[in-house]
């Protein structure tokens, strides 16, 4: 037998070697053990064929059939066929039907002029409802280059885990080794919705498959849209509700971003206390504030400094999402706050907290939690050096609302701006002032952009009042100008785009005839606000003219309009809102483009509307000492 195999294996044919190797493992039991089938090789066709059949076992006892298993394989190092013996009960276990299935034989199929031997034990095992034998190292599924997970096996008696199938357990010698499934130590099958569903499974009110489409009438049945949102009380609550679109939507996922130290944690702690205390139309409810960056003692210290004493505010410090869901489930909170999304993690997702996968999957889990329980969730997001929220961009797509908190380092004012809102407008803006008691709502937002006049005169030189609109709110801003003669043509601009400032100065020189060539011009917007729209052009031009002509402007006069290259004054959007904003601040006169004079005069205000066609008309009307007062 060995000589026959050696002759065949010396042939340079990989297919023949593979076929021969498969023959070596399809040995059948004989009276004295196992023997290989008789084979022959045709040099004309290059086909390996079977000469004889397997020797049928004679009448023998079952113990004799299981004694030995003889296998043969070609060793390329030694250059010959090597045979090995192994107890058959070690390979197939003590089950008789496994040996029978394995020794049942092979089938022959003729395809393309040659014989192909295939194993039929699995097919016959299915037909007879028997268990397919599990082979040892030759047939065990392992993790290969494709990245598929290997199969784990375990004993049904002692529970030991094995990397391959052994039949009888090698540890206890009694139990049978069975397949337990793929090894998931390095390959995680849970992704996306599976992770989020697994994390909030205990909260799910029904199975995912039981949900059916509903009509709009069925969804709105028994629900009052006016009382649907969660209200926030007080001036602080009104400012936050304005930005959110009228209140907190149940089941919404809100992301709050901002620079370090701007007051994100303070804002959400105050929102938590506001919800927990309730309002006139809403009863007090439990709220859970979870922090992954601070201990509960540190949070309590900040709450005590802000005079928050409600009993319905629960504090918890954890970074495990599933642990958070498990701990807050008995409380059934009205809202959940996570500080921050970059510090929490899911056990099923690989990587440390804060990486792209963890941030994405944790946000998906929290989104599913919010939608299935109708509990609003607030997330705090860190920002990068460029000002964007850290993590994948998909984070801002997953959430329902994205809020940014802005503020200058040396200023106590904070702006809460909405950049995404599925339940309201993104034009809203909330204005707060940071104090020792936390964030306080600013009743009159325009006062943060205006300076107090300490002079005894009723007029100021080089100062003009303009109006800017941020979102849906109008703010009065203060523009300062200083023209210094006898110096080089230098320009220093703060708060205004340099290109826009150059355009206004050039138009004043060309169209209004002002001699600005030999003057150094300094421009500044009070309180560090950025004037990015063209509605402040007229105020900038008026401030420059006031400083150059050394003619003070009355402190009850405002300017609204855009300047064109020809010196003409143009109308800007929301003229009526801007005029009403300065009227509420007590201003008596307002300079606007001539085309908007009749429209602004129809407003219900006590202001005097001065319409001007161009810059020359504006200079004559404003700086004429005989102007009617």
Q: What is the pLDDT of residue 72?
A: 59
**pLDDT value of position 209:** 52
Instruction: Round to whole Å and give the CA distance between 558 and 562.
Output: 14
CA atoms within 13 A on the CB side of 624: 10
Q: Please report the pLDDT score of residue 53 as a whole number.
A: 39
Give the model's pLDDT for residue 481: 94
**CB-based burial, 331-359: b 16+ in 10 Å, e otherwise:** eebbbbbbbbbbbbbbebbeeebbeebbb
CATH of 448-623, one of 3.30.2090.10, 3.40.640.10, 3.30.230.10, 3.20.20.150: 3.30.230.10
Q: Render 379-441 in DSSP notation, one character per residue.
A: EEE-B-TTSSBSS-THHHHHSSEEEEEE--TT--EEEEEEEEETTS-S--EEEEEEETTEEEE
Q: Dihedrals φ, ψ of 209, to 5°?
A: -75, -10
pLDDT in the model for residue 319: 93
Superfamily of domain 229-443, CATH level 4: P-loop containing nucleotide triphosphate hydrolases (3.40.50.300)
pLDDT of 376 reads 95
Nearest-10 Cα torsion for 301, 305, 310, 312? -40
CA of 195: how far to CAs of 148, 344, 361, 367, in Å? 20, 14, 7, 12
pLDDT for 78 equals 65
What's the farthest any 2 CA atoms get from each other in the chain? 134
pLDDT for 607: 87
Look up the pTM and report it. Answer: 0.61
Q: What is the pLDDT of residue 226?
A: 66
Where do the structural domains in the chain lie, given as residue ranges?
Answer: 2-133, 134-187, 229-443, 448-623
pLDDT of residue 114: 37
If the chain, 629 residues long, is cut into consecutive pieces of 10 residues, what is the mean pLDDT of each piece? 47 48 43 42 42 42 49 61 55 43 38 36 40 36 48 76 80 78 49 58 55 82 76 90 91 93 93 87 86 93 92 94 91 93 89 87 92 93 80 86 86 88 86 90 74 54 88 84 81 91 93 87 86 92 92 89 94 90 87 90 86 92 63
Structure tokens at 604: 């219900």
Decide: 91 and 68 in contact? Cβ < 8 Å. Answer: no
């Amino acid at each position: 037998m060995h000589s026959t195999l050696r002759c065949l294996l010396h042939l340079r044919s990989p297919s023949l070697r593979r076929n021969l190797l498969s023959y070596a493992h399809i040995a059948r039991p004989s009276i004295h053990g196992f023997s290989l089938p008789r084979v022959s090789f045709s040099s004309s066709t290059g086909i390996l064929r079977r000469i004889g059949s397997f020797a049928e076992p004679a009448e023998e006892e079952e113990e004799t059939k299981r004694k030995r298993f003889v296998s043969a394989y070609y060793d390329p190092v030694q250059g010959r066929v090597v045979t090995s013996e192994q107890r058959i009960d070690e390979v197939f276990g003590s089950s008789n039907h496994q040996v029978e299935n394995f020794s049942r034989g092979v089938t022959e199929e003729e395809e393309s002029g040659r014989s192909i031997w295939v194993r039929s034990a699995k097919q016959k095992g299915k037909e007879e409802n028997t268990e397919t034998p599990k082979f040892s190292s030759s047939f065990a599924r392992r993790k290969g280059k494709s990245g598929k997970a290997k199969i784990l096996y375990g004993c049904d008696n002692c529970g030991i885990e094995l990397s391959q199938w052994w039949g009888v357990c090698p540890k206890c010698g009694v139990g049978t080794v069975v397949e337990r499934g793929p090894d998931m130590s390095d390959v995680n099958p849970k992704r996306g919705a599976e992770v989020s569903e697994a994390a909030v499974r205990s909260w799910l009110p029904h199975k995912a498959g039981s949900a059916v489409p509903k009509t709009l009438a069925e969804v709105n049945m028994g629900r009052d849209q006016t009382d649907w949102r969660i209200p926030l009380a007080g001036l602080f609550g009104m400012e936050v509700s304005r930005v959110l679109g009228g209140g907190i939507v149940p089941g919404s996922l809100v992301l709050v971003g901002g620079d370090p130290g701007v007051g994100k944690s303070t804002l959400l702690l105050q929102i938590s206390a506001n919800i927990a205390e309730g309002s006139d139309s809403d009863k007090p409810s439990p709220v859970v504030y979870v922090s992954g960056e601070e201990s509960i003692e540190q949070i309590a210290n900040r709450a005590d400094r802000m005079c928050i004493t409600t009993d319905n505010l629960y504090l918890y410090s954890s970074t495990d999402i599933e642990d958070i869901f498990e701990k807050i489930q008995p409380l059934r909170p009205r809202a959940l706050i996570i500080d921050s999304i970059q510090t929490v993690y899911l056990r099923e997702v690989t990587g440390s907290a804060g990486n792209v996968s963890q941030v994405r999957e944790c946000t998906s889990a929290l989104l599913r939690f919010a939608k299935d329980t109708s509990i609003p969730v607030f997330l705090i997001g860190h920002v990068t050096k460029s000002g964007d929220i850290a993590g994948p961009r998909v984070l801002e797509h997953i959430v329902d609302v994205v809020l940014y908190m802005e503020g200058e380092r040396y200023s106590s004012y904070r702006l809460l701006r909405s950049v995404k809102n599925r339940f309201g407008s993104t034009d809203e803006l909330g204005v707060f002032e940071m104090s020792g008691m936390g964030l306080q709502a600013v009743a009159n937002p325009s006062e943060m952009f205006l300076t107090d006049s300490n002079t005894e005169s009723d007029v100021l030189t080089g100062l003009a009042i303009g109006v800017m609109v941020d979102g849906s709110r109008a703010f009065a801003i203060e523009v300062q100008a200083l023209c210094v003669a006898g110096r080089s043509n230098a320009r220093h601009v703060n708060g205004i785009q340099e290109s826009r400032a150059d355009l206004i100065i050039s138009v004043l020189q060309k169209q209004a005839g002002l001699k600005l060539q030999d003057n150094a011009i300094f421009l500044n917007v009070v309180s560090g606000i950025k004037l990015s729209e063209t509605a402040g052009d007229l105020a900038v031009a008026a401030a420059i003219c006031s400083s150059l002509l050394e003619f003070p402007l009355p402190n009850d006069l405002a300017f609204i309009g855009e300047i064109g290259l020809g010196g003409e004054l143009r109308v800007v959007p929301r003229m009526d809102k801007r005029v009403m904003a300065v009227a509420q601040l007590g201003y008596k006169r307002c300079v606007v483009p001539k085309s908007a004079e009749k429209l602004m005069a129809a407003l219900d205000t006590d202001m005097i509307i001065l319409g001007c066609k161009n810059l020359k008309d504006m200079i004559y009307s404003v700086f004429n000492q005989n102007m009617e007062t």
